[in-house]
Every structure is written in C-alpha cells, then in structure tokens.
Amino acid sequence: MSRGCSRTPAASRRTATSARSGTRAAALTSRTLSIAEVLPDLELPDHAGRVRRLSELVGGDPTVIQFFRGWWCPKEQAFFRRLIALQDEAEVAYSGIVSISVDAPEIAAAFRAGIGARWTFLSDSERVWLDRLVLRETTDTLNNPYLPTVLVVDPDLRIHSRYDGYWFWGRPTNEELRQDLRAVTRALRPDWEPPR
C-alpha cells in the first residue's frame, strides 16, 4: 500500500474550486488543471483495451472525471462506493463519469466489474499523461499512481470544478457533485426552464 493511502501531507488538502462560487479552499496543486481551463483530450485504452478519446466519452454532457491511485487503495474503494451510489442519477440526468488510473486495462476491467460500475475506466498504465497533467503522487514511488483528483467538466472539457483528494475529506461528496453537475447542465441546456 502506498503512503498516500495511509498518510498524507498537509499541502494536499481539499483544493476544490467551483466556477459557480469562485472560492478556493487552498491553492491548486497543478496549473495545468485549473478552473476554467480546458482539460487535454486524453487518448487512452479503456477497460476493454480499446483506445478512446476523452471528448468521445464526454460527448455533449457534463462529466465527472476521476483520476485515482488504483484498485488496491482502500481510500479509492471507499470513494468508488460513493460514485456507484451516484451512477443511476448520472445516467438519467444525461451526465457521465470517467475514471482514470495507471492500472492495466484487464485490472481496471476486473475492478470495474467487481464494484458494479457501468461507466468507462481508462488506463494510463504507460503513464503517458501522469506528468503532463502534473498529477503524479510523489509520495508513492513504488506504484507511481495518479494523485487522486476529481474534476467536473463541461462538454468542451472546460473544468468547472476540481477536488484534490490526497486527504480523503478533500474528495467531493455526492451532493457536491450533484450541485456541480446541476450548474453545468443549467448553463448547457437552453430548455432548462420548461416551455410554457
């Protein structure tokens, strides 16, 4: 188990910033993934080994993008239980979830099936994007995983909100994700107010 799964430094507490509120809990740890910036259109194999583009998975919908350490981390397993509880709502609300780790596709597929997730898992087992996104968890030199980070993005991959989850309490609650997805949906859908 990585030190990140058992002990975490004070510098990586929740750094969620919402475009809606304009407040920051702390300085962002990465300039490349700041609020209102566009997330690169990652191209990675999914849990079935098929290469996918992030923009293809997001489509025209608000999406939760989760970068996580790996299946082996108890903090990740606990957070995935939250996302599983949210997946039915996300599906009927035309919203998506995408999870990204350094786990190989076959490991991601087994973990995905084991927890009952229906969304796409992407594999950066070659660690192509880890440093480009400045998301390497530096305290775990054995696994070299992603720093746990959750983004809510617009369909154009513009970052609406960011949560740094090095400490578990830095990760978003489902209610925070609902509020973020609602704000993006309201701005995105011209028929938010029903026709009269």
Write out pLDDT tens, residues 87-136.
999 999 999 999 999 999 999 999 999 999 999 999 999 999 998 999 99
**Is residue 148 over pLDDT 80?**
yes
Determine the structural domain holding residue 154 and report its residue range: 12-186
Rounded Cα–Cα distance for residues 148 and 160 (Å): 17
pLDDT for the residue 27: 34
**Is residue 145 over pLDDT 70?**
yes
Of residues 11 and 1, more confidently modeled:
1
pLDDT for the residue 56: 97
- As beta bridge partners, residue 120 has 98
Q: Could you tell me which of 14, 172, 164, 6 has the C-alpha nearest to residue 83? A: 172
**Residue 84 domain flag:** yes
Assign 18 a pLDDT band (cuts: 50, 70, 90): very low
Within 9-138, residue ranges assigned H as helices are 54-58, 74-92, 105-115
**Residue 6 domain flag:** no
**Residue 42 domain flag:** yes
**Residue 7 domain flag:** no
**Residue 48 domain flag:** yes
Rounded Cα–Cα distance for residues 65 and 7 (Å): 24
Give the whole-number percent of the chain exceeding pLDDT 70: 84
Assign 36 a pLDDT band (cuts: 50, 70, 90): confident
**Is residue 83 over pLDDT 70?**
yes
Number of domains in the chain: 1
Give me the CATH number covering residue 141: 3.40.30.10
**Residue 2 domain flag:** no
Assign 24 a pLDDT band (cuts: 50, 70, 90): very low
Q: What is the DSSP string of 102-148?
A: SS-HHHHHHHHHHHT--SEEEE-TT-TTTTTTT-B-TT-TTT--BPP
The Cβ of residue 19 has, within 10 Å, a number of other Cβ atoms equal to: 18
SS3 of residue 50 by DSSP? coil
